[in-house]
Chains A and B, each alone.
Chain A
Amino acid sequence: MCSAGTLSVLRSDSYVDLSQYRDQHFRGTRRDQERLLRKSCTLYVGNLSFYTTEEQIHELFGKSGDIKKVIMGLDKVKKTACGFCFVEYYARGDAENAMRYINGTRLDDRIIRTDWDAGFKEGRQYGRGRSGGQVRDEYRQDYDAGRGGYGKAVQCQ
């Protein structure tokens, strides 16, 4: 009776739940993807500055556990950092703590966002925007000094 049993109000772990995002390029069913996401040790990290280094990412994300690998996201054309990365942990629990406590905090003065990733595959380190960077930088209208200034659409005007 004792060691078993908890209360649903205490089970809530919303920071660890899956987001709405699903990778459109994922090879496999939605179900497959979700299954992988639920046991993944890899996080996608977004809204990084183009100048944020692997070392900074390692230092911050190392606070929730031992990191297996950091893979920097690159502009497909320029092969330079384009503002995202993947962080893979050895243990799922460490990735969960990153979702609970590092997601939504600052790195390089920017609020970064983490999300579960189904696992790194060659090619996924490249931005999918037409100009080579991330899609979000193709169309944005604002000026962001850490992400190449204006969005590509604005720059081409």
Chain B
Amino acid sequence: MSRRRHSDDSDGQPHKRRRTSEPSEIEERLESLICRVGEKSNSSLESNLEGLAGVLEADLPNYKSKILRILCTVARLLPEKLTVYTTLVGLLNARNYNFGGEFVEAMIRQLKECLKVNMYNQAVHLVRFLSDLVNCHVIAAPSMVAMFENFVSVTQEEDVPQVRCDWYVFAFLSSLPWVGKELYEKKDAEVDRLLSQTESYLKRRQKIHVPMLQVWTADKPHPQEEGPVMPGSHSVERFVIEENLHCIIKSHWKERKTCAAQLLSYPGNNKIPLNYHIVEVIFAELFQLPSPPHIEVMYTTLLIELCKLQPGSLPQVLAQATEMLYMRLDTMNTTCVDRFINWFSHHLSNFQFRWSWEDWSDCLTQDLEKPKPKFVREVLEKCMRLSYHQRIIDIVPASFSVLSPANPVCIYKYGDESNRSLPGYTVALCLTIAIKNKASNDEIFSILKDVPNPNQDDDDDEGFSFNPLKIEVFVQTLLHLAAKSFSHSFSALAKFHEVFKTLAESDEGKLHVLRVVYEVWKNHPQMIAVLVDKMIRTQIVDCAAVANWIFSSELAHDFTRFYIWEILHSTIRKMNKHVLKIHKELEETKARLARQHKRRDSDDDDDDDDRSSDREDGPLEEQIERLQEKVESAQSEQKNLFLVIFQRFIMLLTEHLVRCETGGIDVFTPWYRSCIERLQQIFLQHHQIIQQYMVTLENLLFTAELDHHILAVFQQFCALQA
């Protein structure tokens, strides 16, 4: 007979335990109520807020700290709903004055902590929230003024980074749209003083760094075009709308459909030309320097979602914006033009490449290096990558053929019988047959032995000294045989990796391999890029070789083409990721050693055998030492890469400047503009790494003797951290 538990009571019913919800369930419920207030409701927002205030007031005795924490978090993370939540706090404060006080204290604590951990954007949201609490009678105007007086007094501090003053002044100014009026009514003299202090700071603050961060080189913002009336570009209304739209994107960037819907349902969308504001805000983020807040492809897809939701209006606004951007290409920063090219080509590929190209016929009469024809060329090339060559020929008017991309076919110099007089031709034929018959690396080596070295009088067969002809014959033949697809070429690189490594052992060898790759595939920049990527990853070439190759005279003709800079920046990123990876390995191994020590200390308290513990540590310590060396070596390679790049830029630019000076011609050619902006781009795209090298750069490369045009770029970069 089974034993009955005492809790199963006598009438046969199991004893019911009183169910209390888990604490996390309650928190979820509260968070949901607060975050979703007003959503999917037939009642007005005001009525929903009143209701919620009542519910929360009743919950305060039991869940005050949870409610405080949630409200502080929404203040920080949902700035687009600022006024909704300040109103809620105001209502709660009216019902429970103490709670209001505790909330403000919690907010101040949170603000201080945000500043401590460098979360400046969230800190601004908190300051604005506090400001609006004045309007809700939670904070007294004089208190807020006192806080702003504290902020603005930072401008009187000596020897502080300019960004410190900038932030405090910005926090003050950007709160004024919400609280300026109220503060001025209560404390006009104090506010006047704050404004004049701010004005004087703005006048004296350094602006050397600004050119580096400008999308447009024009001094003033472009005038408002004809069209719908938007709040003026310097107006407070404009600022508030844009801030809120930016905040919506920041909140919902992972969910493109939600993001689009939230943007389109921005309150007041019947009073402002919302589609125009949205498009402007999106492009503002896309073109932001140094980097957009989110990955570029997000903006393309977000715009597509918006077009889906507003098919009758948004595509036209987008077309208008595209047109306006095209008209202003002459003053657009090169990095931003890159992004414009990527966005426009990807966007077109989602809409059957439909575009009124004839409207842009003006670019056909311009020099190909000018921004407009250059832009169209690069767009067409990118469009081709997403489709195929004939498609591009078909979608543009015949007049645009001068800007159409080349048919991406490989150029094999030993291909034609007519080339049989070329040195190495017979070896190439031999190689072709051998490779088709699945020859091994050794067989390839022995065939290549027959290739004479044009660099030497006597053949040096023992070693494999740099023999450009050998490299030429091998690489041309192999790439030609593997031309069918990326996969074919990657297989070829993998199969004959040993041959590559040997031929490209020296620096000159590496450079020559890259040269031959270019010669074979100059019609197919995309193929060049993926081959260079693969060769770096399989260590056939190194990053410095790629940098030297990009600045070599053979590539001068393509120097301003987009794909070159994509390759260079991709190379730098691989280098950076490599350093981080080894560093991470080192830290992880150190942690493992530390854990091992801890385990040993806690396990054998009475075991004094040091020798056995040393033996255990041995392998790990060895590993750490090896990794330490690896890290140092990688960091050194990384620094060298940047130094090579900067050095080559300086040489190239100096050459141009001297030539112009002696020839009496204008320095500011399209090539020069492009080149100087590419130099700026290196600094901006990799600023965190480069900051480690400031001393070396200042003492070795960017010295006072340098032409002031070039030095200015370095000074702009330095000013960014001043």
Interface residues in chain A, defined as those with a beta carbon under 8 Å from any beta carbon in chain B: 1-3, 5-10, 12-16, 53-56, 58-60, 63-64, 66, 70-72, 97, 100-102, 105-109
Contacts and interface: CB of A to CB of B under 8 A. Distances in A.
Nearest to A96: B254
Contacts of A55: 385, 485-486, 526-527
B301 A59 contact: no
Given A2-B117, A105-B304, 6 more contacts: A10-B252, A64-B297, A100-B301, A107-B349, A108-B387, A109-B352
A105 B72 contact: no
B77 interface: yes
A2 B119 contact: yes
B265 to A, nearest CB: 16
A12 B352 contact: no
A2 B300 contact: no
B350 A54 contact: no
Interface stretch (B27-35, B179-187, B209-217, B706-714): B27-35
Contact of B486 (A7, A54, A100): A54
B386 A107 contact: yes
A79 to B, nearest CB: 13
Interface of B: 28, 31-32, 35-36, 69-70, 72-74, 76-78, 109-110, 113-114, 117, 119, 122, 251-252, 254-256, 258, 295-298, 300-301, 304, 342, 346, 349-350, 352, 382, 385-388, 485-487, 526-527, 530, 533, 570
Nearest to A58: B486
**B interface secondary structure, majority:** helix
A108 B349 CA distance: 8
A15 B255 contact: yes
Q: Which 10 A-B pairs have the closest CB atoms?
A: A2-B113, A59-B385, A63-B297, A101-B301, A9-B35, A106-B350, A101-B297, A13-B254, A2-B114, A3-B117
Interface-central residue, A10, A15, A97, A108, by most chain B CB under 10 Å: A10
A59 B349 CA distance: 12
B386 A7 contact: no
A70 B487 contact: yes
Nearest to A63: B297
B297 to A, nearest CB: 4
A10 B77 contact: yes
A5 B73 CA distance: 7
A12 B109 contact: no
25 contacts: A2-B113, A2-B117, A5-B69, A8-B31, A9-B36, A12-B258, A16-B254, A53-B485, A54-B485, A54-B486, A55-B527, A58-B486, A63-B300, A63-B342, A63-B346, A64-B295, A64-B297, A66-B533, A70-B487, A97-B297, A101-B297, A101-B300, A105-B301, A105-B350, A106-B350
A7 B295 contact: no
Contact of A63 (B296, B350, B487): B296
B349 A106 contact: yes
Nearest to A2: B113
A84 to B, nearest CB: 15
A122 B296 CA distance: 34
B197 to A, nearest CB: 29
A2 B254 contact: no
B73 A6 contact: yes
B486 A1 contact: no
Contacts of B69: 1, 5
A71 B251 CA distance: 35
